[in-house]
């Protein structure tokens, strides 16, 4: 069995659902990543915000621009754009199931959880790198 927790990234960058969308976009760009798990205060997964979710906001660009001011209570939040109830996998799950999921869906990463809490993330790139590692 190929172990998920052996290759998952554990230094996961997350945002909260009440984070202004502009701040989440900055995090994506500054960290050169394509998606972020959205968590509550207990690190329980509540959603995911991706580049694709942000692109869907383009018709609403004027409202998005208002989100630049994180003190503005009317600023749009991550929860307004995120995908709720995203697919995730337990850290004990076999990697084959994750590979099949990424092959059969149009997303690039899946959050990894333990008892509902985000403990890691696995992207297509992580899996490709794993293939290159010598078997040993």
Domain boundaries along the sequence of the chain: 4-132
**pLDDT for residue 69 is more than 70:** no
Contact 127, 103 (CB under 8 A): no
Within 13 Å of residue 77, how many CA atoms lie on the same side as its CB?
A: 12
With CA atoms as reference, report the closest residue to 78 among 45, 58, 50: 50
Structure confidence by residue, pLDDT tens digits, 8-49: 999 999 999 999 888 999 999 999 999 999 999 999 999 999
Q: Please indicate, yes or no, whether the overall pTM of this predicted structure exceeds 0.75.
A: yes
What whole-number distance in Å separates Cα of residue 53 and Cα of residue 48? 9
Pick the CATH number of 4-132 from 3.20.20.70, 3.30.420.40, 3.40.30.10, 3.10.580.10: 3.10.580.10
Helix (H) or strand (E) holding 38: strand 35-39
Distance CA 55, CA 25 (A): 10
């Amino acid at each position: 069995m190929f172990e998920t927790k052996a290759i998952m990234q554990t230094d996961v960058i997350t945002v909260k659902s009440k984070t202004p969308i502009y701040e989440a976009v900055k995090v994506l760009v500054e960290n050169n990543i394509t998606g972020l798990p959205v968590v509550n205060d207990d690190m329980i997964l509540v959603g995911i915000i991706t580049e694709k979710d942000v692109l869907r906001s383009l018709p609403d660009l004027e409202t998005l621009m208002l989100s630049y001011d994180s003190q503005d209570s009317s600023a749009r939040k991550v929860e307004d754009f995120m995908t709720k109830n995203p697919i995730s996998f337990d850290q004990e799950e076999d990697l084959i199931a994750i590979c099949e999921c990424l092959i059969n869906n149009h997303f690039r990463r899946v959050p990894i959880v333990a008892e509902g809490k985000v403990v890691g993330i696995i992207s297509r790139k992580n899996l490709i790198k794993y293939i290159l590692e010598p078997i040993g």
